[in-house]
Structures are given as structure tokens and as C-alpha cells.
Amino acid sequence: MAPIDASNCALCRVMRGLAFGGMGAAIGGYGALFFGADQTEAIYCALFGALALTAIVQRKRRKKDQ
């Protein structure tokens, strides 16, 4: 019987996505506020920061799994 890799289960992927999405949102949003953006623009930066950091982590994880 093949060994089971429990580090890449569906729940682990969801929790990893939420964690890095939150970190990306904080970096993007507060970074935009630090550089003088309006609050509305900072929300957009937080959204794209969350998307970017989650995509980067998932891409690195896919390369590691291959």
C-alpha cells in the first residue's frame, strides 16, 4: 500500500489559501495606506494582494508536489 500524503488534503489547501490570502490582503491594504492611497483604493489593493500571494504560494506548492 502506498503511503498517504496528508499535507496536501483539501482542508489543508483551503486553510493555506485563507492564511496566505489574509496575509496578502494585510500587506496590500496597509501598504497602500502607508503610501497615501485612499481607503477605497486600499481595499482594491488588499484584494489584489490576497490574490497575488495565494497564487504565488499555490504555484510553489504545485512545483514541490511534482
pLDDT cut 90: percent of the chain above it: 48
**For position 64, what pLDDT does the model report?**
65
What does the alpha-carbon distance between residue 32 and residue 43 come to, in Å, rounded to a whole number?
Answer: 9
What type of residue is 16? Answer: R
**For position 63, what pLDDT does the model report?**
67
**For position 60, what pLDDT does the model report?**
73
Look up the pTM and report it: 0.74
Residue (of 34, 55, 33) closest to 44 by Cα position: 33
